[in-house]
Structure 1
Amino acid sequence: MDASGSWALALLSFSASGVARQPRSTWVGIAALGLVAVALGTVAWRHSHLRRRRRLQQVGTVAQLWIYPIKSCKGVSVSEAECTDMGLRCGHLRDRFWLVINEEGNMVTARQEPRLVLISLTCDNDTLTLSAAYTKDLLLPITPPTTNPVLQCRVHGMEVQGRDCGEAAAKWITSFLKTQPCRLVHFEPHMHPRSSQQMRPVFRPTDQVAYSDASPFLVLSEASLEDLNSRMEKRVRASNFRPNIVISGCGVYAEDSWNELLIGDVELKRVMACTR
Protein backbone atom coordinates (compact mmCIF):
# COMPACT_ATOMS: atom_id res chain seq x y z
CA MET A 1 0.00 0.00 0.00
CA ASP A 2 1.25 3.48 -0.87
CA ALA A 3 1.53 5.86 2.07
CA SER A 4 0.68 8.75 -0.22
CA GLY A 5 -2.72 7.29 -1.02
CA SER A 6 -5.81 6.62 1.09
CA TRP A 7 -5.12 2.99 1.96
CA ALA A 8 -5.71 2.10 5.60
CA LEU A 9 -5.99 -1.68 5.77
CA ALA A 10 -3.93 -4.80 5.14
CA LEU A 11 -5.11 -8.39 4.80
CA LEU A 12 -3.26 -11.13 6.69
CA SER A 13 -3.36 -14.90 6.37
CA PHE A 14 -2.36 -17.56 8.92
CA SER A 15 -1.46 -21.23 9.31
CA ALA A 16 -2.12 -22.38 12.88
CA SER A 17 -4.19 -21.58 15.99
CA GLY A 18 -3.90 -20.30 19.53
CA VAL A 19 -5.50 -18.02 22.11
CA ALA A 20 -5.45 -14.24 22.34
CA ARG A 21 -4.85 -12.86 25.82
CA GLN A 22 -5.01 -9.55 27.66
CA PRO A 23 -2.33 -6.87 27.01
CA ARG A 24 1.17 -7.67 28.17
CA SER A 25 4.50 -5.83 28.15
CA THR A 26 6.75 -8.50 26.66
CA TRP A 27 8.50 -7.75 23.40
CA VAL A 28 7.33 -9.66 20.38
CA GLY A 29 8.55 -9.75 16.80
CA ILE A 30 7.94 -11.13 13.36
CA ALA A 31 8.42 -14.87 13.10
CA ALA A 32 7.99 -17.44 10.35
CA LEU A 33 5.07 -17.60 7.92
CA GLY A 34 1.69 -18.37 9.42
CA LEU A 35 -0.10 -17.62 12.65
CA VAL A 36 -0.49 -19.27 16.04
CA ALA A 37 -2.71 -16.87 18.02
CA VAL A 38 -3.87 -13.28 18.29
CA ALA A 39 -3.22 -11.27 21.46
CA LEU A 40 -3.89 -7.84 22.87
CA GLY A 41 -0.23 -7.03 23.29
CA THR A 42 2.90 -5.60 21.76
CA VAL A 43 3.42 -5.89 18.00
CA ALA A 44 6.90 -6.05 16.50
CA TRP A 45 8.64 -6.48 13.17
CA ARG A 46 11.53 -8.85 12.40
CA HIS A 47 14.39 -7.81 10.12
CA SER A 48 15.73 -11.25 9.22
CA HIS A 49 14.43 -14.82 8.91
CA LEU A 50 17.74 -16.12 10.24
CA ARG A 51 17.66 -13.99 13.37
CA ARG A 52 13.95 -13.89 14.10
CA ARG A 53 14.35 -14.15 17.88
CA ARG A 54 17.35 -11.82 18.09
CA ARG A 55 16.47 -8.77 16.04
CA LEU A 56 13.01 -7.64 17.02
CA GLN A 57 11.64 -4.18 16.45
CA GLN A 58 8.57 -3.06 18.33
CA VAL A 59 6.10 -1.36 16.02
CA GLY A 60 2.91 -0.98 18.07
CA THR A 61 0.26 -2.51 20.30
CA VAL A 62 -2.92 -4.36 19.46
CA ALA A 63 -5.61 -2.02 20.75
CA GLN A 64 -8.82 -3.78 19.69
CA LEU A 65 -10.13 -7.16 18.55
CA TRP A 66 -13.37 -7.44 16.58
CA ILE A 67 -15.53 -10.36 15.49
CA TYR A 68 -18.27 -9.93 12.89
CA PRO A 69 -20.53 -12.97 13.38
CA ILE A 70 -23.00 -12.08 10.59
CA LYS A 71 -21.35 -10.91 7.39
CA SER A 72 -22.00 -7.15 6.91
CA CYS A 73 -23.74 -6.70 10.27
CA LYS A 74 -22.26 -4.90 13.30
CA GLY A 75 -19.12 -6.27 14.91
CA VAL A 76 -18.63 -7.47 18.48
CA SER A 77 -15.67 -6.05 20.40
CA VAL A 78 -13.85 -8.70 22.45
CA SER A 79 -10.91 -8.51 24.84
CA GLU A 80 -9.55 -11.92 23.90
CA ALA A 81 -10.09 -14.42 21.11
CA GLU A 82 -8.93 -17.76 19.83
CA CYS A 83 -7.49 -18.05 16.35
CA THR A 84 -8.80 -20.82 14.16
CA ASP A 85 -8.13 -21.83 10.58
CA MET A 86 -10.94 -19.53 9.47
CA GLY A 87 -10.70 -16.48 11.70
CA LEU A 88 -11.26 -15.29 15.25
CA ARG A 89 -13.48 -17.12 17.72
CA CYS A 90 -14.67 -16.01 21.14
CA GLY A 91 -16.94 -18.49 22.86
CA HIS A 92 -19.73 -19.34 20.44
CA LEU A 93 -19.01 -16.35 18.23
CA ARG A 94 -17.12 -17.00 15.01
CA ASP A 95 -16.08 -14.37 12.52
CA ARG A 96 -18.42 -14.29 9.51
CA PHE A 97 -19.94 -17.70 10.18
CA TRP A 98 -23.48 -16.40 9.56
CA LEU A 99 -24.63 -15.10 6.19
CA VAL A 100 -27.70 -13.38 4.77
CA ILE A 101 -28.73 -14.78 1.38
CA ASN A 102 -31.50 -14.05 -1.13
CA GLU A 103 -33.98 -16.50 -2.63
CA GLU A 104 -31.39 -17.62 -5.21
CA GLY A 105 -28.84 -18.44 -2.50
CA ASN A 106 -26.55 -15.54 -3.35
CA MET A 107 -24.93 -13.60 -0.51
CA VAL A 108 -26.57 -10.35 0.53
CA THR A 109 -24.10 -7.85 2.00
CA ALA A 110 -24.00 -4.15 2.78
CA ARG A 111 -22.91 -3.61 -0.81
CA GLN A 112 -26.49 -4.39 -1.86
CA GLU A 113 -28.30 -3.75 1.43
CA PRO A 114 -26.62 -0.96 3.46
CA ARG A 115 -29.17 -1.38 6.29
CA LEU A 116 -27.44 -4.63 7.26
CA VAL A 117 -24.79 -2.60 9.11
CA LEU A 118 -27.53 -1.45 11.51
CA ILE A 119 -28.15 -4.98 12.80
CA SER A 120 -26.26 -5.88 15.97
CA LEU A 121 -25.77 -9.28 17.55
CA THR A 122 -25.12 -10.43 21.11
CA CYS A 123 -24.58 -13.91 22.50
CA ASP A 124 -25.72 -15.18 25.89
CA ASN A 125 -24.96 -18.83 26.56
CA ASP A 126 -26.53 -20.72 23.66
CA THR A 127 -28.75 -17.88 22.42
CA LEU A 128 -28.11 -15.25 19.76
CA THR A 129 -30.00 -11.97 19.94
CA LEU A 130 -30.42 -9.88 16.81
CA SER A 131 -31.27 -6.23 17.44
CA ALA A 132 -32.05 -3.17 15.33
CA ALA A 133 -33.66 0.20 15.97
CA TYR A 134 -37.47 0.27 16.12
CA THR A 135 -37.53 -3.52 15.74
CA LYS A 136 -38.30 -6.18 18.33
CA ASP A 137 -35.27 -8.29 19.23
CA LEU A 138 -35.04 -11.75 17.73
CA LEU A 139 -33.73 -14.66 19.81
CA LEU A 140 -32.19 -17.61 17.98
CA PRO A 141 -30.37 -20.78 19.07
CA ILE A 142 -26.63 -20.45 18.51
CA THR A 143 -26.76 -23.72 16.57
CA PRO A 144 -29.74 -24.18 14.23
CA PRO A 145 -31.65 -27.45 14.67
CA THR A 146 -30.31 -30.29 12.55
CA THR A 147 -33.81 -30.66 11.13
CA ASN A 148 -33.33 -27.31 9.35
CA PRO A 149 -32.26 -27.76 5.72
CA VAL A 150 -28.69 -27.22 4.52
CA LEU A 151 -28.75 -24.71 1.67
CA GLN A 152 -26.31 -24.28 -1.19
CA CYS A 153 -25.11 -20.67 -1.13
CA ARG A 154 -22.75 -18.50 -3.15
CA VAL A 155 -20.21 -15.98 -1.87
CA HIS A 156 -18.56 -14.02 -4.67
CA GLY A 157 -19.70 -16.72 -7.06
CA MET A 158 -18.15 -19.60 -5.07
CA GLU A 159 -20.35 -22.39 -3.76
CA VAL A 160 -20.54 -22.89 0.01
CA GLN A 161 -23.09 -24.49 2.31
CA GLY A 162 -25.06 -23.03 5.19
CA ARG A 163 -27.72 -24.40 7.50
CA ASP A 164 -30.92 -22.40 7.38
CA CYS A 165 -31.62 -20.55 10.65
CA GLY A 166 -35.40 -20.87 10.30
CA GLU A 167 -38.49 -18.93 9.31
CA ALA A 168 -38.37 -16.50 12.25
CA ALA A 169 -34.90 -15.30 11.23
CA ALA A 170 -35.90 -15.05 7.58
CA LYS A 171 -39.01 -12.98 8.39
CA TRP A 172 -37.13 -10.72 10.82
CA ILE A 173 -34.34 -9.84 8.37
CA THR A 174 -36.71 -9.51 5.41
CA SER A 175 -38.97 -7.21 7.41
CA PHE A 176 -36.06 -5.02 8.51
CA LEU A 177 -34.50 -4.69 5.06
CA LYS A 178 -37.85 -4.09 3.32
CA THR A 179 -36.43 -4.81 -0.14
CA GLN A 180 -36.29 -8.53 -0.95
CA PRO A 181 -36.93 -11.90 0.72
CA CYS A 182 -33.84 -13.01 2.63
CA ARG A 183 -32.74 -15.89 4.81
CA LEU A 184 -30.02 -16.36 7.42
CA VAL A 185 -27.68 -19.35 7.23
CA HIS A 186 -24.96 -20.68 9.53
CA PHE A 187 -21.68 -22.35 8.57
CA GLU A 188 -21.01 -25.57 10.50
CA PRO A 189 -17.63 -27.25 11.17
CA HIS A 190 -18.37 -30.27 8.98
CA MET A 191 -19.11 -28.09 5.95
CA HIS A 192 -16.48 -27.54 3.27
CA PRO A 193 -14.98 -24.04 3.44
CA ARG A 194 -14.09 -21.84 0.49
CA SER A 195 -10.51 -21.67 -0.78
CA SER A 196 -8.94 -18.22 -0.40
CA GLN A 197 -6.56 -19.02 -3.25
CA GLN A 198 -9.49 -19.41 -5.64
CA MET A 199 -10.43 -15.84 -4.79
CA ARG A 200 -6.89 -14.41 -4.84
CA PRO A 201 -3.90 -16.40 -6.18
CA VAL A 202 -1.56 -14.78 -3.62
CA PHE A 203 -3.05 -16.96 -0.85
CA ARG A 204 -1.72 -20.43 -0.06
CA PRO A 205 -3.67 -23.57 -1.00
CA THR A 206 -4.28 -24.23 2.72
CA ASP A 207 -5.91 -20.84 3.42
CA GLN A 208 -9.68 -21.20 3.80
CA VAL A 209 -12.65 -19.10 4.85
CA ALA A 210 -16.36 -19.59 5.47
CA TYR A 211 -18.20 -16.42 4.40
CA SER A 212 -15.37 -13.86 4.56
CA ASP A 213 -14.48 -12.29 1.22
CA ALA A 214 -11.04 -13.92 0.95
CA SER A 215 -8.90 -13.50 4.08
CA PRO A 216 -9.58 -14.69 7.63
CA PHE A 217 -8.05 -11.54 9.15
CA LEU A 218 -8.17 -7.83 8.40
CA VAL A 219 -5.73 -5.43 10.10
CA LEU A 220 -6.04 -1.66 10.52
CA SER A 221 -3.70 0.84 12.20
CA GLU A 222 -5.07 3.81 14.11
CA ALA A 223 -2.41 6.06 12.56
CA SER A 224 -3.49 5.26 9.01
CA LEU A 225 -7.12 5.84 9.92
CA GLU A 226 -6.28 9.20 11.50
CA ASP A 227 -4.33 10.22 8.40
CA LEU A 228 -7.31 9.35 6.23
CA ASN A 229 -9.62 11.36 8.51
CA SER A 230 -7.35 14.40 8.19
CA ARG A 231 -8.36 14.49 4.53
CA MET A 232 -12.06 13.73 4.99
CA GLU A 233 -14.90 16.21 5.39
CA LYS A 234 -16.72 13.70 7.58
CA ARG A 235 -14.70 11.49 9.90
CA VAL A 236 -14.92 7.72 9.59
CA ARG A 237 -14.37 5.13 12.32
CA ALA A 238 -12.46 1.90 12.37
CA SER A 239 -15.78 0.07 12.21
CA ASN A 240 -16.35 1.49 8.72
CA PHE A 241 -13.52 -0.77 7.54
CA ARG A 242 -14.52 -3.79 9.61
CA PRO A 243 -11.04 -4.80 10.85
CA ASN A 244 -10.42 -7.78 13.11
CA ILE A 245 -7.24 -6.34 14.61
CA VAL A 246 -6.65 -2.63 15.29
CA ILE A 247 -3.06 -1.60 16.06
CA SER A 248 -1.99 1.55 17.88
CA GLY A 249 1.39 3.21 18.40
CA CYS A 250 2.76 2.82 14.88
CA GLY A 251 3.49 5.32 12.12
CA VAL A 252 1.14 6.27 9.31
CA TYR A 253 0.86 3.39 6.80
CA ALA A 254 3.68 1.59 8.58
CA GLU A 255 1.67 -1.62 8.17
CA ASP A 256 2.49 -1.53 4.46
CA SER A 257 6.01 -2.72 5.33
CA TRP A 258 5.02 -5.46 7.80
CA ASN A 259 5.26 -8.59 5.70
CA GLU A 260 5.46 -10.77 8.81
CA LEU A 261 4.35 -10.07 12.36
CA LEU A 262 4.39 -11.72 15.74
CA ILE A 263 1.70 -10.62 18.20
CA GLY A 264 2.30 -12.41 21.47
CA ASP A 265 2.45 -16.03 20.30
CA VAL A 266 0.67 -15.20 17.06
CA GLU A 267 2.49 -15.34 13.74
CA LEU A 268 0.93 -13.41 10.86
CA LYS A 269 1.84 -13.05 7.21
CA ARG A 270 0.63 -10.06 5.19
CA VAL A 271 -1.01 -11.29 1.99
CA MET A 272 -2.50 -8.28 0.22
CA ALA A 273 -3.90 -4.81 0.60
CA CYS A 274 -7.63 -4.42 1.07
CA THR A 275 -9.36 -2.35 -1.60
CA ARG A 276 -11.33 -0.52 1.09
Structure 2
Amino acid sequence: MATLTQLLLYPIKSCAGMAVASATLLESGLMAEGVHDREWMLVTDDGQFLTQREHPRMALIHPRPDGDALRMRAPAQEDLLLPLAWSDAAPVRTVRIWDDLVDALDCGDATAAWFSAALGARCRLVRFPRSAVRPTSVKWTSGVPSQTRFSDGYPLLLIGQASLDDLNARLRAAGRAALPMDRFRPNLVVDGIDAYEEDYIAQLSAGGIAIRPVKPCARCPIPAIDQATGIPGPDPLDILQSYRANPRLDGGICLGMNCIVGAGAGQLLHTGLELDVDLAF
Protein backbone atom coordinates (compact mmCIF):
# COMPACT_ATOMS: atom_id res chain seq x y z
CA MET A 1 0.00 0.00 0.00
CA ALA A 2 1.32 3.44 -0.94
CA THR A 3 0.09 6.82 0.28
CA LEU A 4 -0.17 9.88 -1.95
CA THR A 5 1.66 12.57 0.03
CA GLN A 6 2.03 15.38 -2.52
CA LEU A 7 0.06 16.60 -5.55
CA LEU A 8 1.68 19.25 -7.71
CA LEU A 9 0.73 21.14 -10.85
CA TYR A 10 2.82 23.43 -13.01
CA PRO A 11 0.36 25.77 -14.77
CA ILE A 12 3.15 27.22 -16.94
CA LYS A 13 5.71 24.73 -18.16
CA SER A 14 9.02 25.11 -16.29
CA CYS A 15 7.75 27.92 -14.04
CA ALA A 16 7.03 27.48 -10.34
CA GLY A 17 4.70 24.69 -9.32
CA MET A 18 1.74 24.77 -6.99
CA ALA A 19 0.97 22.17 -4.38
CA VAL A 20 -2.70 21.28 -3.96
CA ALA A 21 -4.64 19.10 -1.55
CA SER A 22 -6.80 17.63 -4.32
CA ALA A 23 -6.89 17.55 -8.11
CA THR A 24 -9.01 16.06 -10.84
CA LEU A 25 -7.31 13.27 -12.73
CA LEU A 26 -7.63 13.65 -16.49
CA GLU A 27 -6.14 11.62 -19.32
CA SER A 28 -3.97 14.65 -20.14
CA GLY A 29 -2.82 15.20 -16.53
CA LEU A 30 -3.99 16.97 -13.39
CA MET A 31 -6.47 19.83 -13.12
CA ALA A 32 -7.11 21.93 -10.00
CA GLU A 33 -8.61 25.33 -9.21
CA GLY A 34 -9.61 25.81 -12.82
CA VAL A 35 -6.18 25.26 -14.39
CA HIS A 36 -4.47 22.27 -15.97
CA ASP A 37 -0.95 21.05 -15.53
CA ARG A 38 1.29 22.61 -18.20
CA GLU A 39 -1.63 24.46 -19.76
CA TRP A 40 0.65 27.37 -20.70
CA MET A 41 4.18 27.51 -22.07
CA LEU A 42 6.79 30.15 -22.85
CA VAL A 43 8.23 30.16 -26.35
CA THR A 44 10.67 32.17 -28.43
CA ASP A 45 9.41 34.49 -31.17
CA ASP A 46 9.73 31.62 -33.62
CA GLY A 47 7.79 29.21 -31.39
CA GLN A 48 10.55 27.14 -29.76
CA PHE A 49 9.64 26.09 -26.22
CA LEU A 50 11.63 27.47 -23.28
CA THR A 51 12.56 25.82 -19.99
CA GLN A 52 14.71 26.38 -16.94
CA ARG A 53 17.52 24.67 -18.85
CA GLU A 54 18.07 27.94 -20.71
CA HIS A 55 16.39 30.34 -18.29
CA PRO A 56 16.73 29.34 -14.61
CA ARG A 57 14.80 32.49 -13.63
CA MET A 58 11.64 30.76 -14.80
CA ALA A 59 11.62 29.14 -11.36
CA LEU A 60 10.84 32.58 -9.88
CA ILE A 61 7.65 33.08 -11.90
CA HIS A 62 4.74 31.97 -9.73
CA PRO A 63 1.38 31.46 -11.46
CA ARG A 64 -1.62 30.98 -9.17
CA PRO A 65 -5.36 30.85 -9.83
CA ASP A 66 -7.07 33.96 -8.45
CA GLY A 67 -10.81 33.96 -9.04
CA ASP A 68 -11.40 34.14 -12.77
CA ALA A 69 -7.75 34.90 -13.56
CA LEU A 70 -4.28 33.43 -13.35
CA ARG A 71 -2.12 35.75 -11.27
CA MET A 72 1.58 35.90 -12.20
CA ARG A 73 4.20 37.02 -9.72
CA ALA A 74 7.89 37.56 -10.33
CA PRO A 75 10.66 39.57 -8.64
CA ALA A 76 10.67 43.31 -9.45
CA GLN A 77 7.48 42.95 -11.49
CA GLU A 78 3.96 44.12 -10.80
CA ASP A 79 1.54 41.21 -10.69
CA LEU A 80 -0.03 40.27 -14.00
CA LEU A 81 -3.60 38.95 -14.20
CA LEU A 82 -4.34 36.70 -17.14
CA PRO A 83 -8.06 35.98 -17.67
CA LEU A 84 -8.93 32.28 -17.53
CA ALA A 85 -11.90 32.77 -19.85
CA TRP A 86 -11.27 31.48 -23.37
CA SER A 87 -11.12 34.02 -26.17
CA ASP A 88 -12.16 33.00 -29.67
CA ALA A 89 -10.18 35.97 -30.94
CA ALA A 90 -6.81 34.74 -29.62
CA PRO A 91 -4.38 34.31 -32.52
CA VAL A 92 -3.09 30.82 -33.23
CA ARG A 93 0.67 30.29 -33.20
CA THR A 94 2.42 27.05 -34.19
CA VAL A 95 4.92 26.12 -31.47
CA ARG A 96 7.47 23.35 -31.11
CA ILE A 97 7.95 21.18 -28.04
CA TRP A 98 10.64 18.61 -28.67
CA ASP A 99 9.60 16.90 -31.92
CA ASP A 100 5.95 17.95 -31.73
CA LEU A 101 4.36 20.89 -33.50
CA VAL A 102 1.27 22.23 -31.71
CA ASP A 103 -1.16 24.97 -32.71
CA ALA A 104 -1.37 27.05 -29.53
CA LEU A 105 -3.18 30.25 -28.56
CA ASP A 106 -1.01 33.34 -28.20
CA CYS A 107 -1.69 35.31 -25.00
CA GLY A 108 -0.94 38.74 -26.47
CA ASP A 109 1.73 41.40 -26.63
CA ALA A 110 1.22 42.83 -23.13
CA THR A 111 1.64 39.36 -21.61
CA ALA A 112 4.71 38.74 -23.79
CA ALA A 113 6.25 42.02 -22.59
CA TRP A 114 5.68 41.07 -18.92
CA PHE A 115 7.33 37.67 -19.29
CA SER A 116 10.18 39.08 -21.39
CA ALA A 117 10.94 41.56 -18.59
CA ALA A 118 10.73 38.80 -15.96
CA LEU A 119 13.20 36.59 -17.85
CA GLY A 120 15.39 39.28 -19.36
CA ALA A 121 14.86 37.64 -22.75
CA ARG A 122 12.25 37.96 -25.48
CA CYS A 123 9.50 35.38 -25.18
CA ARG A 124 5.77 34.86 -25.59
CA LEU A 125 3.19 32.97 -23.54
CA VAL A 126 0.95 30.45 -25.32
CA ARG A 127 -1.97 28.37 -24.09
CA PHE A 128 -2.93 24.82 -25.00
CA PRO A 129 -6.29 24.92 -26.84
CA ARG A 130 -9.35 23.38 -25.21
CA SER A 131 -10.12 21.06 -28.11
CA ALA A 132 -6.55 20.05 -28.99
CA VAL A 133 -5.09 16.60 -28.35
CA ARG A 134 -1.36 15.99 -28.16
CA PRO A 135 -0.85 12.22 -28.25
CA THR A 136 1.95 10.65 -26.28
CA SER A 137 4.35 8.14 -27.78
CA VAL A 138 3.04 4.57 -27.61
CA LYS A 139 6.58 3.16 -27.70
CA TRP A 140 6.58 2.79 -23.92
CA THR A 141 2.88 2.08 -23.37
CA SER A 142 2.55 -1.25 -25.20
CA GLY A 143 0.46 0.52 -27.79
CA VAL A 144 -1.98 2.08 -25.29
CA PRO A 145 -2.89 5.62 -26.42
CA SER A 146 -2.64 8.59 -24.08
CA GLN A 147 -2.33 12.35 -24.30
CA THR A 148 -0.72 15.30 -22.59
CA ARG A 149 -0.53 19.09 -22.85
CA PHE A 150 2.83 20.88 -22.70
CA SER A 151 4.64 18.34 -20.51
CA ASP A 152 7.82 16.88 -21.99
CA GLY A 153 6.20 13.60 -22.93
CA TYR A 154 3.59 12.09 -20.59
CA PRO A 155 0.73 13.42 -18.45
CA LEU A 156 2.07 12.51 -14.98
CA LEU A 157 5.43 12.17 -13.24
CA LEU A 158 5.64 9.93 -10.18
CA ILE A 159 8.43 9.84 -7.59
CA GLY A 160 8.61 7.77 -4.41
CA GLN A 161 9.67 9.69 -1.31
CA ALA A 162 12.08 6.89 -0.44
CA SER A 163 13.92 7.43 -3.72
CA LEU A 164 14.69 11.04 -2.84
CA ASP A 165 15.59 10.01 0.71
CA ASP A 166 18.11 7.52 -0.67
CA LEU A 167 19.63 10.11 -3.01
CA ASN A 168 19.89 12.60 -0.15
CA ALA A 169 21.67 10.04 2.03
CA ARG A 170 24.22 9.61 -0.77
CA LEU A 171 24.58 13.37 -1.19
CA ARG A 172 25.18 13.86 2.54
CA ALA A 173 27.73 11.02 2.53
CA ALA A 174 29.58 12.94 -0.18
CA GLY A 175 29.53 16.11 1.92
CA ARG A 176 26.74 17.70 -0.09
CA ALA A 177 23.45 19.27 0.96
CA ALA A 178 20.20 17.33 0.72
CA LEU A 179 17.74 18.42 -1.96
CA PRO A 180 14.00 19.11 -1.65
CA MET A 181 11.52 17.25 -3.82
CA ASP A 182 10.73 20.37 -5.86
CA ARG A 183 14.07 20.03 -7.68
CA PHE A 184 12.60 17.03 -9.53
CA ARG A 185 9.21 18.59 -10.36
CA PRO A 186 6.90 15.60 -9.87
CA ASN A 187 3.12 15.60 -10.08
CA LEU A 188 2.65 12.70 -7.67
CA VAL A 189 4.77 11.84 -4.63
CA VAL A 190 4.05 8.60 -2.80
CA ASP A 191 5.30 7.18 0.47
CA GLY A 192 5.18 3.61 1.69
CA ILE A 193 7.22 2.03 -1.13
CA ASP A 194 10.91 1.19 -1.19
CA ALA A 195 13.51 3.40 -2.84
CA TYR A 196 13.14 3.22 -6.64
CA GLU A 197 10.30 0.73 -6.36
CA GLU A 198 8.31 3.02 -8.65
CA ASP A 199 10.53 1.65 -11.45
CA TYR A 200 8.78 -1.70 -11.11
CA ILE A 201 5.16 -0.67 -10.52
CA ALA A 202 2.69 -1.87 -13.14
CA GLN A 203 -0.21 0.08 -11.63
CA LEU A 204 -1.27 2.25 -8.71
CA SER A 205 -4.98 2.00 -8.05
CA ALA A 206 -7.73 3.22 -5.75
CA GLY A 207 -11.41 2.71 -6.43
CA GLY A 208 -11.82 3.17 -10.16
CA ILE A 209 -8.51 5.01 -10.56
CA ALA A 210 -5.55 3.35 -12.27
CA ILE A 211 -2.23 5.13 -12.82
CA ARG A 212 0.33 3.22 -14.87
CA PRO A 213 4.05 4.06 -14.81
CA VAL A 214 5.38 3.52 -18.33
CA LYS A 215 8.75 5.18 -18.89
CA PRO A 216 11.70 6.07 -16.63
CA CYS A 217 12.31 9.81 -16.42
CA ALA A 218 15.75 10.67 -17.78
CA ARG A 219 17.06 13.71 -15.98
CA CYS A 220 18.41 16.99 -17.38
CA PRO A 221 20.31 19.69 -15.42
CA ILE A 222 17.14 21.29 -13.96
CA PRO A 223 17.53 19.48 -10.57
CA ALA A 224 20.67 21.60 -10.06
CA ILE A 225 18.54 24.79 -9.99
CA ASP A 226 17.37 26.06 -6.61
CA GLN A 227 13.64 26.52 -7.17
CA ALA A 228 13.48 29.21 -4.47
CA THR A 229 16.21 31.42 -5.95
CA GLY A 230 16.52 30.41 -9.60
CA ILE A 231 20.27 29.98 -9.08
CA PRO A 232 22.03 26.84 -10.37
CA GLY A 233 24.16 24.96 -7.87
CA PRO A 234 25.84 21.57 -7.59
CA ASP A 235 24.27 19.10 -9.99
CA PRO A 236 23.11 15.84 -8.36
CA LEU A 237 23.51 14.02 -11.69
CA ASP A 238 27.12 13.14 -10.85
CA ILE A 239 25.90 11.18 -7.81
CA LEU A 240 22.91 9.70 -9.64
CA GLN A 241 25.14 8.65 -12.52
CA SER A 242 26.99 6.23 -10.29
CA TYR A 243 23.89 4.06 -9.82
CA ARG A 244 20.95 5.33 -11.89
CA ALA A 245 22.18 5.15 -15.50
CA ASN A 246 19.52 3.24 -17.42
CA PRO A 247 20.58 1.14 -20.42
CA ARG A 248 16.99 1.17 -21.70
CA LEU A 249 17.42 4.91 -22.30
CA ASP A 250 20.96 4.75 -23.70
CA GLY A 251 22.48 5.40 -20.30
CA GLY A 252 20.11 8.22 -19.36
CA ILE A 253 20.26 9.08 -15.66
CA CYS A 254 16.79 8.36 -14.32
CA LEU A 255 14.75 9.27 -11.27
CA GLY A 256 10.97 8.91 -11.22
CA MET A 257 8.53 7.40 -13.68
CA ASN A 258 6.38 8.96 -16.38
CA CYS A 259 2.81 7.68 -16.12
CA ILE A 260 -0.41 7.46 -18.09
CA VAL A 261 -3.97 7.24 -16.80
CA GLY A 262 -5.32 3.73 -17.23
CA ALA A 263 -8.73 4.42 -15.67
CA GLY A 264 -10.59 6.94 -13.57
CA ALA A 265 -10.33 10.08 -15.70
CA GLY A 266 -12.59 12.66 -14.10
CA GLN A 267 -12.15 11.33 -10.57
CA LEU A 268 -10.55 13.22 -7.71
CA LEU A 269 -7.13 12.53 -6.26
CA HIS A 270 -6.27 13.89 -2.82
CA THR A 271 -3.30 13.83 -0.52
CA GLY A 272 -3.55 11.01 1.99
CA LEU A 273 -5.17 8.71 -0.59
CA GLU A 274 -4.08 5.11 -0.13
CA LEU A 275 -3.12 3.35 -3.33
CA ASP A 276 -2.81 -0.36 -4.05
CA VAL A 277 0.51 -1.24 -5.66
CA ASP A 278 0.73 -3.89 -8.37
CA LEU A 279 4.30 -4.73 -9.32
CA ALA A 280 5.33 -5.66 -12.82
CA PHE A 281 7.10 -8.86 -11.76
Matched, 1:195 2:135: yes
Q: Deviations over 1:181-205 (max 9, x none)?
A: 10001112222x22211xx621345
- Does the aligned pair in 2 maintain the 1:219–1:244 contact within 8 Å? yes
Quick one: distance in 1 between partners of 2:115 and 2:55? 11
Report the counterpart of residue 182 of structure 2 in structure 1. Answer: 239
Partner residue of 1:174 out of 102, 109, 116: 116
Quick one: distance in 2 between partners of 1:249 and 1:269? 17
Report the counterpart of residue 125 of structure 2 in structure 1. Answer: 184
- Does the aligned pair in 2 maintain the 1:159–1:194 contact within 8 Å? no
RMSD: 1.4
Quick one: distance in 1 between partners of 2:208 and 2:144? 23
What are the equivalent positions in structure 2 for 1:139-150 lying under 5 Å apart?
A: 139-150=81-92
TM-score (norm 2): 0.73
Which structure ranks higher in relative contact order (CA pairs < 8 Å, sequence separation ≥ 6)?
1
Quick one: distance in 2 between partners of 1:214 and 1:240? 18
Report the counterpart of residue 87 of structure 1 in structure 2. Answer: 29
How many residues were matched structurally? 214
Q: Kindly tell me: are residues 255 and 89 of structure 1, through their superposed partners in 2, closer, same or farther at Cα, counting changes over 3 Å?
A: same
Ranges of 4+ aligned residues in structure 1 off by more than 4 Å: none
> Which letter does structure 2 place at the counterpart of 1:242?
R
1:91 deviates by 3.0
SS at match of 2:112: helix
Partner residue of 2:166 out of 218, 227, 250: 227
Report the counterpart of residue 77 of structure 1 in structure 2. Answer: 19
Quick one: distance in 2 between partners of 1:79 and 1:118? 22
Matched, 1:64 2:6: yes
1:134 deviates by 2.2
- Does the aligned pair in 1 maintain the 2:198–2:213 contact within 8 Å? no
What are the equivalent positions in structure 2 for 1:1-276 lying under 5 Å apart?
A: 58=1, 60-179=2-121, 181-191=122-132, 193-197=133-137, 201-203=139-141, 204=143, 206-232=145-171, 233-276=176-219
TM-score (norm 1): 0.74
> Which letter does structure 1 place at the counterpart of 2:126?
V
Same amino acid, percent of matched pairs:
36
- Does the aligned pair in 2 maintain the 1:144–1:165 contact within 8 Å? no
> Which letter does structure 1 place at the counterpart of 2:217?
C
> Which letter does structure 2 place at the counterpart of 1:187?
F
**Unpaired runs of 5+ in structure 1?**
1-57
**Unpaired runs of 5+ in structure 2?**
220-281
